[in-house]
Each structure stands twice: as C-alpha cells, then as structure tokens.
Structure 1
Amino acid sequence: MPSIGVITQRKTRGFTLLELAVYIMVVGILISVGTGMMMNNSKKPGVQATSSNEKLAASGSNLSLDAYAAPLLLFTQTHYRLPCPDTNNDGSEDCPNAATPPELLKGTLPFTTLALEQRPVDTFGNAPFYAVDFALTQLVDSATSSWDGGRLNLDDLCEKTKSRYRAAISTNRLSVIRARGLNCQAADVFNPAFVLVSGGAQDLDNINGMLDGENGSGNNCYEFSGREKSAQYDDVVHFVSMANLISQVCN
C-alpha cells in the first residue's frame, strides 16, 4: 500500500504533456464551434447589424434597381406621396406647377430629396431612370377635393392610389407591357405607380441614349420587366404596381 506521502505527491503534481495537449484540443474545438454558430446567426434576418435600407442610405450607389424602390416607399410612407423626378441633375425633385398637370413625370432619382448621400447609379455606373404617375406625387384631399401638394395624410394617399388602381387602363398614363411579345396597347399594358429603368451596359438600338426598346421611345410605355437581353436590348426594368403600393403603405 502506498504511503500517504506518496499519494499527496501525485495529487499536487501538474498536468502531463499528454493531458495538456488534450485540454488545448478540446478548447480549440469549442471555440471553433461557437464562432461558426455566431457567424450563422449573423446571417439571419433580424440579426444583421445593418439593414438594407441603412446600407442604401449610407452608400446610395451601385445597387440593383429593386433596392432603390425602398427609399421611394419610405418617402411615400412619411410624406404621403411619391417624389417627383430630378429633371435638372441637381439631386432634388422637380415638381411641375401647371394648371393642367401631365399624366406622368420622367427623370432620374432625386437622391437629395430621398436623403441619399450620393447620386444613385445602377450596376453599370449610370443614373437609373425614374418615371412616376403624377397623380401620386400631388394628392387630392379626399374631404375637399382640392390639390394640396401631397402633404396631407395616409388616408388621402391610400384613397388616391386605390382610385388609380380601379381606373380603366390607359396608355396615356405611365404603362408597363404585361408580358413578353405584347405591345403598348391598352389591352397589353397595366398602369404602375412608378418605374425604374437601368439602361444597361450599352445603347444597343442607337436611339435616345442608353434606353432601348420602348424604354427609349419617348412615349408613356415601358418594357416588360422580364424581357430577355438581345442584340438590340440590354435594359433592366423594375416597377411597383398600384397594388404593391397599397399593400406596402396602406395595409
């Protein structure tokens, strides 16, 4: 039987090299697993440190067209109207002051009005084109039927948007072709709230600058958003319909 002195000596000695190596290995595995879980969690919605809207406001450039719809909708929720386009390249919206307003307004995104720090550009480095239904930039007061610059309330915005949604389709208004192969005729289009267009990498049809097809025709009609690229067309179209605007702002 070993003496008490021998037992005490064994209890007080340090780790062996083998025990220390095993300990370090276990700790390393635990750290690796914990780091992996943290990285996975950071990718989940609601855990991201910066939302897509915050990233957009911080950069304001080189983003896809659907990302630029977010600040337009945010502006609509806070101002009860859509902004007018920028027509003189100063970054601010340019709303007409006319007795007979046009059916739609065309230009580029008013990045200063939208509180973006930089001038927006598409993935090709060009300013995205922006066209909007004029009636949604200057809203009618539902109680008095008078024009009031749009700064009324959410009920007025929703009532006007719903009335535009219920109205008969017209090619005099802002229009988007419904599907591939259709034309700019009343039976072939619908009337959205606004349209964003990227002119693509090149002016392939050599007409009216970077915009190709109906996008550059100068009329009120824009191409089907899923139109395939070709030797004569490389634009990208993104739109928000009246129904989309109602569901995102009014509900």
Structure 2
Amino acid sequence: MANSRSGDSMTARIVRVLDTFTMDRTTQTTAEIARRSGVPSSSAHRIVGDLIAAGLLERDDENRVRLGMHLWELALRGSRAMRLRQVALPHMERVQAAIQEHTQLAVLEHDEALFLERLSHPDAGANITRIAGRLPVHASSSGLVLLAFAAPEVRERVLAAPLKAVSRETVTDAAALRALLAAIRRRGWVAAPGSIEQVSTGVAVPVRERGEVVAALSVILPRGAPHEPAIAALLAGAAGITKDLRESH
C-alpha cells in the first residue's frame, strides 16, 4: 500500500483509525478519530469515508461513526477464534453450572490476554473482564497460564518489559513471575488471588490443540473460596474442548 509523507502505509493508517474504537468508546466524530489516531485530519476524513462506503464503519443518526456490521461479518468468516469459542462454549456451560461463577475463555494476542467468551452467573462476584476485552498477560489467571505455556521468546519479552501492577497483589517482580510461570507449567493450573480484584481469585487451566496451548479456561471465585472444585471442573472442561477440537478437523 502507498506510504504517507510520514512513512506510514495506508494499511497502518486504517488500523490506527480502527484502533481508536474501544469497549467504552463505541462512537466518535471523525475529528475525534483523527486526533486519537494521529492521522492528519484530511487523511482521516478520507479513510473514514472509504471505510463507511465499504461497510466497515457506519454513521449513526447523530452523524457519529461506529464500527460497521460488515467488519463484524468479515471477522467471523473462518475465524480461528470463532471456531475455538464455538467448540468451547458447551464445556464452559458445564463448568459454570458446576461452579456457578464467571467462566471465561482467553487467548494470547500481542502479549495480552484477549477474552473470547464469558459466561456470568447472577450470584457471581466481581469481575472486570468483558468479551473482546484485554488484560495484561502477567496480571490475570488466564494470562498467567497463557504466558507460562507461550514460546520462550514471548515470555522473555514480557519479563524484560516493565510489569505494571493492576492491584496490590499483581506479581511485578520478574524473578518472582518467572518462578510462578515455572510452577504453572509443572502443575498445569494457577490460582491467582487478588491479582486483578482484591475480592476475587482467578483460577485457570490451559486448553490444548495438537499438544499446543491455544487458550486458557478460567473461573473467577470469591476471595477465600476453595479452588479445588474449580480446578477439577476446569481440567475436565479443558480436556473436553481439546477432544472436540481434535474431532472437528
């Protein structure tokens, strides 16, 4: 794609425009998109217009811009994440029925835990995660499992970067995190009290496909609740997902 005067390709500028939309910022003016993306105003207006014409963005009744249905449609076509979510959902439902707490499925994406699905229970406790939401990979139970089984170069990159605290109990010391990740690989699960919310404990296990860890299955328990029943339910759920992934090929 042609480069701009700044050296950015058109593809890079389109991605920057789309990246200005977040879970909490679902509609914007074109001027806001230009400012947040760092794309010059004239270019941002042209890109937004082209994306609207293609159905990737839409204008609402107040002339504000939002993500378009065609973008959602394209994302679902042949998506590895959608296949994983569809296979995992029945097993997640069984875990939630047994534990009656928030049940989640996450994958590793750009050194963060990206949540593909979340099932909630009316009586479940605190939980800040949302579908299509992200958490730092070192700060959540799902992220810790994904990081523990990630490629060594991914682990080293995360360990070498500043580890920001999400709560007082987030592990931010690289040596301590390295030891925790080794323990997760040995036992095949993690219970992380207070790493995100002081009142909660995240419990997570790996989900494998063809021997490779492709996701993390987790529940969020009230702080102090026994985690052994959750581990058993999660391990059974992960085994079921692995089996169904194998059979779906």
- Greater percentage in strand: 2
TM-score (norm 2): 0.27
Which structure has greater helix proportion? 2
Give TM-score scaled by structure 1 length: 0.27
